[in-house]
Amino acid sequence: MTEAPIGIFDSGYGGLTILHDIELRLPQYDYIYLGDNARAPYGTRSFDVVYDFTLACVRQLFSCGCNLVVLACNTASAKALRTIQQNDLPRINTHKRVLGVIRPTVENIGLYSRTGHVGILATQGTVQSHSYCMEIAKLFPDMKVTEYSAPMWVPLVENGEADGPGADYFVKKYVDNLLKADPQIDLIVLGCTHYPLLYQKIRRYTPPHIRIMAQGDIVADSLALYLDRHPELEQYCSKGGITKFITSENPRKFETLASIFMGRTVKAEHVDICVCGS
């Protein structure tokens, strides 16, 4: 292996919310962010399709040299991570690693709920996988979990409408429906990395006593811990403090929204991702 950036992958812009916190926590490393914007959203797609797309993107990041890839996408973590870790990595390269975002998020849930009633807002794919329910049941068996999908939120973000007045309707609708399903909820987990980009509106329509949990700082802390525990991999993570952005969509379009979301000028390159034969 040779030194290379850490790969950060999402279906689109959502993973930028994770990258932002990872850069703050671990500024010394290089990163390559891959947004598969041409195929987003993933959240409404079947297991097989999400797996094929995710594997193709992981392979793309490996071909850029990455030795460690973070799936900064709950849908991909729910539907593809385990198969990639168990079936694909042993064939592709036994030294490379792929990490997800669900387990570190769940490990923190117990810290933030007093009532033990937790609401998970996520994509249809993540909700249908029941990954959150299953992981929470392992660590916090007494917790009451209500999962609810918010399928319009990702398209709002991907189309640059997160701050637009049209977003209010769908933000209020999904928050109301979740709280109707369990009025005792005192913690809402944003189980999709796109959702923090709607945070202001989600906060506006959520009663103040309910805590809203995003994943960025949790995933960043968990990555820091992982690198500490795995010096054999950490030594192959290059340290120049540079982040490169690649997208399967038009790079100029990506740059416009990514610059807003990252709060700095982002330059991106187009990449063709080959899904066939992954």
Which residues are catalytic, by number? 73, 192
State the CB neighbour count (10 A cutoff) for residue 240: 11
- Site membership for ligand DGL, residue 14 (CB under 6 A): yes
Of 194 and 201, nearer to ligand DGL (C-beta) is 194
- Site membership for ligand DGL, residue 105 (CB under 6 A): no
CA distance 29 to 234: 10
| Residue 41 near residue 123, CB atoms below 8 Å | yes
CA distance 165 to 195: 16
Could you tell me the smallest distance in angstroms from the CB atom of residue 105 to ligand DGL? 10
Q: Kindly give the pairing relationship between strand 31-35 and strand 6-10.
A: parallel
Of 40 and 258, nearer to ligand DGL (C-beta) is 40
- Site membership for ligand DGL, residue 40 (CB under 6 A): yes
Closest residue to ligand DGL, based on beta-carbon distance: 43
In order of 56, 74, 100, 218, the CA distances from 189 in angstroms are 28, 12, 16, 12
- Site membership for ligand DGL, residue 96 (CB under 6 A): no
State the CB neighbour count (10 A cutoff) for residue 103: 16
Q: Pattern of binders to ligand DGL over 154-183, x per CB under 6 A?
A: x-----------------------------
Q: Pattern of binders to ligand DGL over 188-217, x per CB under 6 A?
A: ----xxx-----------------------
Terminal CA-CA length for the chain: 22
Q: Which two tokens stand for residue 89?
A: 């990595």
The count of C-alpha atoms lying within 13 angstroms of the C-alpha of 226, restricted to the half-sphere facing its C-beta, is 22
- Site membership for ligand DGL, residue 126 (CB under 6 A): yes
Q: Among 5, 7, 35, 43, which residue sits at the site for ligand DGL (rule: CB under 6 A)? A: 43
Query: Interhelix angle for 16-25 vs 251-262, to 10°?
Result: 50
Of 52 and 234, nearer to ligand DGL (C-beta) is 52
Q: Among 5, 8, 9, 12, which residue sits at the site for ligand DGL (rule: CB under 6 A)? A: 12
- Site membership for ligand DGL, residue 8 (CB under 6 A): no
Which residues are at the interface with ligand DGL (CB under 6 A)? Answer: 10-12, 14, 40-43, 73-75, 123, 126, 154, 192-194
